[in-house]
Amino acid sequence: MAEGQVVTASAGRLTLTERNWTLAVLFVGGLAALFGLVEALEIAAGRTDRATRFVYDAFETSTRTFAIAHILVGTAFLLSSRTMERSSSRLWFGALAVAGIGLCWLFQAAGGRQAHVPAAIFYAYFFVHEFRDEAWFYRANGDAVGLDDEAARRDVLRLPALALAILLCVFLVGGAWGIGGTRRYGDQLLGSWAQGARQALGAAFIAVTSVIVHLNVLGLRRRHGSVLAFLRSHRPIVFVYVGTFFLIFVGAVFTGRLSLIVALHVAAWYVFATRRLKAAPQGAVAARPGTWRWMRTTQTGFQTLHLGLFAAVVGLAVVWAYVYGNDPSNRVLWVLVSRDAFPFWTILHVTLSFTPR
């Protein structure tokens, strides 16, 4: 057996990682369907202007409201974790909070979600967050056999990184050469460049990406015998990565947006935490319902907290829509539930997630 090669997952059954991801996909679809029903009722009641109704878009609004609850829960859990008992972790958290606020300012200064380039960078940043967490789920679920050394763990993260590199290359080449929908990005960044210079830049992107992919493939072959052997050995996480990229691609084709990555991420975390807490051994003294320990350490408590916050966010969004007409001058509700403020929540959340555990 080659260095780093591991036992292949059973071919006839799905692992916990694969089952959790499948449940997350179903959760996203079910939540979007529920919000789609609400959207249809709003339209039937005469609220045809999406700018003033509660459901702007079924996928967008369901993702935004559930993700805000996810961010609140995640931040509260991090702040109350044992990790934060260390002064170094508190310093990291503070520094990352400042960095996150700075990134929010840069995002807004560059044009925010309405500008093509900042929006693309925003999603690339979130891709890093999502695939890093999926790799962590893979290990925490006990499906990642043979990832004891740092090199093997990096190899698992190479898969989405290489896929993103190829997608980025296609995106950059399309922008430089003025192909398809990416033309607008190229025109925005390279509008003053001569055509020959843009052609040369596109060719350079292809060359650099080809070298990066080739070197990484050689490394996988050296450590695992072959790329195919590595993929077979880590089928559960490959299943998740391929499925995620496929759904994001389909979502982008039909909606023109990449926001499905956010929906999948928050649903995956909810499913993972719910099932992990269900399987966790309980202490000698049961946590009293309603206490913070109950919310942190039991499945019922976690679900009550997360779904309760979700209901609260939905309630605030309904109030903002039906009482204030989604008026941005109401700054409190705008910050808490609006489409325009949501990217700032997300940027800050992703940045804080790099706090060492």
d(CA 325, CA 120): 30
Residue of 139, 134, 132, 147 whose CA lies nearest to 7: 147
pLDDT tens by residue, 135-175:
899 989 988 876 666 777 777 777 888 877 887 777 777 77
Query: 209 with 187: CB under 8 angstroms?
Result: no
**What pLDDT score does 3 carry?**
41
Per-residue model confidence as pLDDT tens digits over 190-201:
777 777 888 888
pLDDT of residue 144: 80
Nearest to 68 by CA among 357, 325, 320, 329: 320
> Using H for helix, E for strand and C for coil, what is the string for 148-190?
CCHHHHHHHHHHHHHHHHHHHHHHHHHHHHCCHHHHHHHHHHH
Cα–Cα distance measured from residue 298 to residue 307, given in angstroms and rounded to the nearest whole number: 14
Write down the pLDDT at residue 224: 73
**What would the mean pLDDT of 210-227 be, rounded to a whole number?**
80
Digit-coded pLDDT (tens) for 175-188: 778 776 666 667 76
Confidence band, pLDDT 50/70/90 cuts, at residue 252:
confident
Q: Residue 4 above 70 pLDDT?
A: no
pLDDT in the model for residue 146 = 66
Give me the chain's average pLDDT, please: 87
Q: Is the pLDDT of residue 1 over 50?
A: no
pLDDT value at residue 5: 42
pLDDT for the residue numbered 7: 44
Q: What is the CA radius of gyration of the chain?
A: 22
Residues 6+ apart with CB under 8 A from 11: none
Note the pLDDT of residue 195. Answer: 79
Question: How confident is the model over 269-312, as pLDDT tens digits?
Answer: 999 999 999 988 776 567 889 999 999 999 999 999 999 999 99
Rounded mean pLDDT, 244-266: 84
d(CA 329, CA 324): 9
Q: Which residue do the tokens 């399309």 mark?
A: 174
Residue 340: predicted pLDDT: 93
pLDDT digits (tens, 9 = 90+) for 39-96: 999 999 999 999 999 999 999 999 999 999 999 999 999 999 998 999 999 999 999 9
Average confidence (pLDDT) over 311-326: 96
